[in-house]
A and B are shown apart, each in its own frame.
Chain A
Amino acid sequence: MKVVIASSFVPFVKGGSRFIVEWLEQKLVEYGHQVERFYLPFVDRPDDLFDQILAFRLIDLSSSCDRLIAIRPPAHVLPHPNKILWFIHHIRGLYDLWDSPHRLVPDSPSGRAVRRAMMELDTRTIREARQVFTNSQVVATRLEHFNGIVAKPLYPPILAPQRLRNDGYGDEIVVICRVELHKRQWLLVEAMRHVKTPVRLRLCGTGMNSAHLDAIRAAIMNQRLESKIIYEDRWISEEEKIERLAPALAVAYLPEDEDSYGYCSLEAAHARKPILTTEDSGGVLEFVKDRVNGLIVPPNPIALAEAMDRLFVDRANTARMGEANNRRLSELCINWDTVVESLTS
Chain B
Amino acid sequence: MRVLVVNNAAPFIRGGAEELADQLVRRLNATRGVEAELLRIPFRWEPADCIVEQILLNRNLRLYQVDRVIGLKFPAYLIPHPCKTLWLLHQFRQAYDLFVSGMSHLCDHESGERIAQLVCNADAQCFGECRAIYTISPITQARLRKFNGFDATVLHQPLLDGERFIGGEYGNYFFAGGRVGPGKRQHLLVEAMRHVKSTAKLVVAGPLDDEDYGFRLQGLVAQHDLGDRVELRFGFHSRNEIAIMVNAALACVYLPIDEDSMGYVTMEAFSAGKSVITAYDSGGVLELVRHGETGLVTGADPRSLAEQLDRLAGDRTTAIEMGRAAKLLLDSKALSWEHTIARLLNV
Contact = CB atoms under 8 A, between A and B. Distances in A.
B50 A60 contact: yes
A41 B63 contact: yes
Interface in A189-232: none
Interface in B34-48: 35, 37, 39-42, 44
B2 A11 contact: yes
Contacts of A64: 10-12, 42, 44
Interface in A1-16: 2, 4, 10-13
Given A10-B65, A12-B66, A61-B11, A54 B57 contact: yes
B70 interface: no
A117 interface: no
A110 B306 CA distance: 81
Nearest to B66: A11
A60 B11 contact: no
Nearest to B4: A11
Given A38-B42, A58-B54, A52 B61 contact: yes
A164 interface: no
A45 B64 CA distance: 10
Interface in A59-116: 59-61, 63-65
B239 interface: no
A88 B60 CA distance: 24
A79 to B, nearest CB: 12
B148 to A, nearest CB: 24
Contacts of B60: 48, 51-52, 54-55, 58
B9 interface: yes
Interface residues of A, number: 28
Interface residues of B, number: 28
Contacts of A10: 64-65
B59 to A, nearest CB: 8
A34 B12 CA distance: 8
B305 to A, nearest CB: 45
A39 interface: yes
Contacts of A41: 39, 61-63, 79
B2 A12 contact: yes
Nearest to B58: A55
Contacts of B98: none
A55 B53 CA distance: 9
A54 B62 CA distance: 12
Given A54-B57, A58-B53, A58-B54, A40 B41 contact: yes
Contacts of A120: none
B62 A38 contact: no
Interface string B163-186: 000000000000000000000000
Q: Which of A11, A40, A58, A60 counts the most B-chain CB atoms under 10 A from its CB?
A: A11
A301 B10 CA distance: 53
Interface string A229-270: 000000000000000000000000000000000000000000
A54 B57 CA distance: 7
Contacts of A58: 53-54, 56-57, 60
Contact of B39 (A2, A36, A39, A43): A39
Contacts of B61: 40-41, 52, 55
Contacts of A48: 60, 62
Contact of A43 (B37, B42, B54, B64): B64
A25 to B, nearest CB: 13
Contacts of B44: 60, 63-64
A43 B54 CA distance: 20
A52 B11 contact: no
Contacts of A38: 9, 11, 40-42
B50 A11 contact: no
Interface string B54-82: 10111111111110000000000001000
A42 B4 CA distance: 14
Nearest to B37: A11
Nearest to A34: B12
Contacts of A43: 62, 64
A210 B150 CA distance: 43
B1 to A, nearest CB: 11
A11 B58 contact: no
Q: Which of A4, A10, A12, A64 counts the most B-chain CB atoms under 10 A from its CB?
A: A12
A64 B10 CA distance: 9
B38 to A, nearest CB: 9
A43 B11 CA distance: 24
Interface in B295-342: none
Interface string B1-38: 01010000111100000000000000000000001010
Given A54-B57, A58-B56, A58-B57, A11 B63 contact: yes
B260 to A, nearest CB: 30
Interface string A19-43: 0000000000000001010111111
A87 B208 CA distance: 47
Contacts of A45: 62, 64
Given A38-B42, A61-B42, A64-B42, A55 B57 contact: yes
Interface of A: 2, 4, 10-13, 34, 36, 38-43, 45, 48, 51-52, 54-56, 58-61, 63-65
Interface of B: 2, 4, 9-12, 35, 37, 39-42, 44, 50, 53-54, 56-66, 79
6 closest Cβ contacts across the A-B interface?
A55-B60, A58-B57, A64-B11, A55-B57, A51-B60, A36-B11
7 contacts: A10-B64, A12-B65, A38-B41, A41-B39, A45-B64, A59-B57, A64-B12
